[in-house]
Amino acid sequence: LLGRWLGAPVEELDTPALIVDLDVFERNLARMADWSRRTGRAVRPHAKAHKSPYVARRQLELGAIGITCSKLGEAEVLVAGGVLDVLISSEVVGPAKIARLIALARQARPIVVVDDAANAEALSRAASAAGVRLPVLVEVNVGQNRCGVEPGEPAGELAARVASLPGLRFAGLQGYEGNLQHVRSLEERRQRCLTSMDLLDRSRRAVNARGLATEIVTTCGTGTHQFVGDLDWVTEVQPGSYIWMDCDYLAVEGTGYEGALSLVTTVVSRQRADAAVVDAGWKSITIESGMPQVKGGLFTYAPAGDEHGKISAPDPAQLPALGARVELIPSHCDTTVNLHDHLFAVRAGRVEAVWPIPARGRVQ
């Protein structure tokens, strides 16, 4: 059904349609791959931004060492799509999820994170009973104050506990400073990132002091990876948004990545003098990170319900006519992608590929 869009001019796409500028997307991929080559830090891109094995495979082709995902459900979709090296960056807790994790470990190579000894013990019992050995990272709180054991000795203690448990293999540390990714100033972001990295390094030393190797130390996203290029104990980074960027991230100083994602909408009503109404509201584009920007800079967007948005202009005479296209730049790429079934990949004004987003909605 979707094949009919291949080769079509972008103006003909039905809307709302999430589109990717392929030239920009490929430049973003190449930029990250180049950074990795130059610095020797591996990249395990986060699939939470795209939720699609199609995009993951492009990242792997360019040298990514595996894929990170937030939820087990995302990992299951990636594995079904042939992506077998998956790091699940959120704790897997409870019998239902652990059973699914073990099933996944029989067909692929998942890596899990823990921040609690009881959870590690539950994973150990399930893995031992199934005869599988799960690689486990200890998650460290490096400043986000969300998940993760406290840095230093608590991290070392949990690592030793994991290493002592049958069915588990202690593989290293995860310490993600999600609180810093959108700090606007480059210098402030750098300073605060290096403070977080000190906490991670202290944790690594506490682990190593117990005779345990940290084969993996994973950290950083799009906004901060550039600061750890010369920290040789950081083995890898897990950026997600760099492939698309969104207008919130585009306002962050000095990331170097370009906007590749937009939502094409259509003006469906012109009954108000002060606004053009488009066919995209809360169910098509998210606003928790601020308002989407209207491409071109002339207009502004505000949601007007589940399925509608209002386009305003300083001079209402400039408002687009009924049937006109209006392109929005999402303010939060991850949650906007999660609302759509497909990404339309566009080059030189034509649809070159249609990528399904099969992990959308996979929050379990």
Ligand X SMILES: Cc1ncc(COP(=O)(O)O)c(C=O)c1O
Smallest gap, in angstroms, from Cβ of residue 89 to ligand X?
4
- With binding defined as CB under 6 A, does residue 330 bind ligand X? no
Q: Rule CB under 6 A: is residue 221 a binding residue for ligand X?
A: yes
181 binds ligand X (CB under 6 A): yes
Q: Is 170 helix (H, G, I), strand (E, B) or coil?
A: strand
Nearer to ligand X, 15 or 222 (CB): 222
Considering only 161-169, 184-192, 200-208, 217-225, which stretch makes contact with ligand X by CB under 6 A? 217-225
Q: Residue 152, SS3?
A: coil
Half-sphere CA count of 290, side-chain side, radius 13 A: 15
**Quick one: which of 49, 111, 212, 276 contacts ligand X (CB under 6 A)?**
49
Under the criterion CB under 6 A, does residue 52 sit at the interface with ligand X?
no
The conformation of residue 167, written as its DSSP 8-state character, comes to T
String of contacts with ligand X for each residue 227-246, x by CB under 6 A:
-----------xxxx-----
On the CB side of 265, CA atoms within 13 Å amount to 32
Distance, CA of 117 to CA of 126 (rounded, Å): 14
Does 161 bind ligand X (CB under 6 A)? Our answer is no
Out of 222, 286, 289, 293, name the contact with ligand X by CB under 6 A: 222
Site for ligand X in 119-148 (CB under 6 A): none
User: Do 57 and 83 touch, CB atoms closer than 8 A?
Assistant: yes
Nearer to ligand X, 76 or 246 (CB): 246
Q: Min. distance of Cβ 204 from ligand X in angstroms?
A: 18
- Please tell me whether residue 176 binds ligand X under the rule CB under 6 A: yes
HSE value, Cβ hemisphere, 13 Å, CA-based, for 65:
16
Within 12-41, the residues that bind ligand X by CB under 6 A are: none
Q: CA nearest 66: which of 50, 37, 42?
A: 42
Q: Provide the minimum distance between the beta carbon of 300 and ligand X in the complex, in angstroms, as a whole number.
A: 25
Taking CB atoms, the residue at the shortest distance from ligand X is 221
Nearer to ligand X, 240 or 330 (CB): 240
Transcribe 305-353 into DSSP letters: SSS-EEEE-SSGGGSPPTT-EEEEE-S-HHHHHTT-SEEEEEETTEEEE
Residues 283, 339 contacting (CB under 8 angstroms)? yes
Least distance in Å: CB of 155 to ligand X? Answer: 16
Nearer to ligand X, 343 or 354 (CB): 343
- Does 175 engage in binding with ligand X (CB under 6 A)? no
Backbone angles phi, psi at 175, to 5 degrees: -145, 100
Using CA atoms, how far residue 291 sits from 173, 217, 328, in Å, is: 36, 35, 10
Please report, as ranges, the residues that interact with ligand X according to CB under 6 A: 46, 48-49, 89, 176, 178, 181, 221-223, 238-241
